[in-house]
Amino acid sequence: MNKALRQRAVLEALKEGPVANQEDLQRALRKRGFKVGQATLSRDIRDMNVSKAAAGYTLPQGEGAAGLALPPVQRLVREFVLDVRPAQNLLVVKTIIGSAQPVAAALDEQEWEGVVGTIAGDDTILIVCPDKDAARKVAVRIGEMLS
């Protein structure tokens, strides 16, 4: 299972509120489709600077806390995107198998002008733009990251 996706799921679980212990966090991850062992979860907690307070595990506070789970979008695009194909106001982005979701999540975090939203499968991302011109600009921007 992809580490970035798993850590994103940990953040999502913690956004719902403190989690009492690692077993509860494992259950929350299982509901999100991640079967993770205690050692892996402990490493993720350490890597993400998740802290344990009296109420349980909580999100890290302070600078950089929101973007802990994903590498920079430029790196993800460069490493995992294979092709970008326009289709009217849509872009179909082909990725390496298993990489579409972290790339789409990183693109969503950027909140680019001209991107209405993304839908990610296993190896394909659909980017919805308001019009053909916006789709072309986004395609150029992604293409520049590939160079």
Q: Which amino acid is at 129?
A: C
pLDDT in tens, 88-147: 999 999 999 988 988 998 898 888 999 999 999 989 999 999 999 999 999 999 999 998
Examine the pLDDT at 16 and tell me if it is beyond 50: yes
Pairing state of beta strands 117-120 and 124-128? antiparallel
CATH number of 3-58: 1.10.10
pTM: 0.58
Output the DSSP codes for 32-84. Answer: TT----HHHHHHHHHHTT-EEETTEEE---STT-TTTTS--HHHHHHHHEEEE
pLDDT in tens, 30-80: 998 889 999 999 888 887 878 888 888 887 665 444 444 567 889 889 999
Q: What is the reported pLDDT for 86?
A: 96
Domain layout of the chain by residue ranges:
3-58, 73-146
Report, at the CATH architecture level, how domain 73-146 is classified: 2-Layer Sandwich (3.30)
